[in-house]
Structure 1
Amino acid sequence: MTHVTPFSNPFLLGFETVEKTLQRIGKADDAYPAYNIERLHKNDDVNHIRITLAVAGFKVNNLNILLDDNQLIIHGKQTNNHNRQYLYHGIAARQFQRTFVLAEGMHVTNAELKNGLLSINLHQPKLKKQIKQIPIKVRSRES
């Protein structure tokens, strides 16, 4: 039996990488860290987005933000302090990786860490619609 996906439609050409990306992100279903995504209205330009992650306890040198093609990857790593003697250890030092797929042309404008919240600002410029006429070559019959 053949596995049928929405991208197996014969009219959707070249979307194999999108399908693989969606499958990979679908597997990353961890709810940590919590995050918000908000649309910012700057000067009537609605193409500004902010992703805010709750990263309390992380220092800036424990966080890493990468942009790999159209994937925004945020990675955080804390280290346990083994020199401390805890009476109760309820706050886990854990690492995380959160991935967001960005639309074509979207770019990161800046990122800041303030009060345990990591904010990443994104902008997507309006893409110009391109209509291109494709010439048709006529070939003569060859014997």
Structure 2
Amino acid sequence: MNTIDLTPLYRSSIGFDRLASMLDNALRGDTGTGGYPPYNIEATGENRYMISIAVAGFTEDELNIQVERGVLTVRGKKAEDDQERKYLYQGIAARSFERKFNLAEHVEVTDAEISNGLLNIHLVKEIPEAMKARSIEIKRGAALEHKK
């Protein structure tokens, strides 16, 4: 497996440790989940997003959503089934899962609902006023007044 040396990033950058870790994890691949459960990420508007995760067979009580330090974690754990079932074929996965998503700065989870076997998690990116671009007015003759 090829590796990428991120040392130059550390030499000339301050405060980007999390970015380097994210790059490193992305390059290694998400081998732990094996693609289960499948999901979609879509833009639903300007600065609005939705993650849809296929959770057929799970109830709201069997799902857990947490956000901590810029990482959205979705976990599913099936409750113990009291009924003894005799499957002839079991194609619907009912195993536990954990799916993680790295969130950019200022991205917040606003809502979550389950519908038609999909867990829909709504997100919005709200940039604080202090960080938004603003125009600076240039005044004519201000330099002449300061010299007097």
The two structures have a TM-score, normalised by structure 2, of 0.72
Offset of 1:126 from its aligned partner?
3.3
Q: What amino acid maps onto 1:20 in structure 2?
A: S
The residue number in structure 1 matching 2:64 is 64
Equivalences for 1:1-143 in 2 at 5 Å?
A: 5-6=5-6, 8-9=8-9, 10-24=11-25, 26-29=28-31, 30-41=34-45, 46-81=46-81, 83-90=83-90, 91-127=92-128, 128-129=131-132
Q: What fraction of aligned residue pairs are identical, expressed as a percent?
A: 34
**Cα distance change, pair 22–82 in 1 and its aligned pair in 2 (3 A):** farther
Take 2:25 and 2:120, find their aligned partners in 1: how far apart are those partners?
24
Offset of 1:107 from its aligned partner?
0.3
Take 1:103 and 1:118, find their aligned partners in 2: how far apart are those partners?
21
Offset of 1:130 from its aligned partner?
7.2
Residues paired across the two proteins, number:
125
Computed over aligned residues only, the root mean square deviation of the Cα atoms, in angstroms, reads 2.4
Gaps of 5+ in 2: 135-148
Q: Greater helix share, 1 or 2? A: 2
Larger radius of gyration: 2
Gaps of 5+ in 1: 132-143
The two structures have a TM-score, normalised by structure 1, of 0.74
Q: What amino acid maps onto 2:58 in structure 1?
A: F
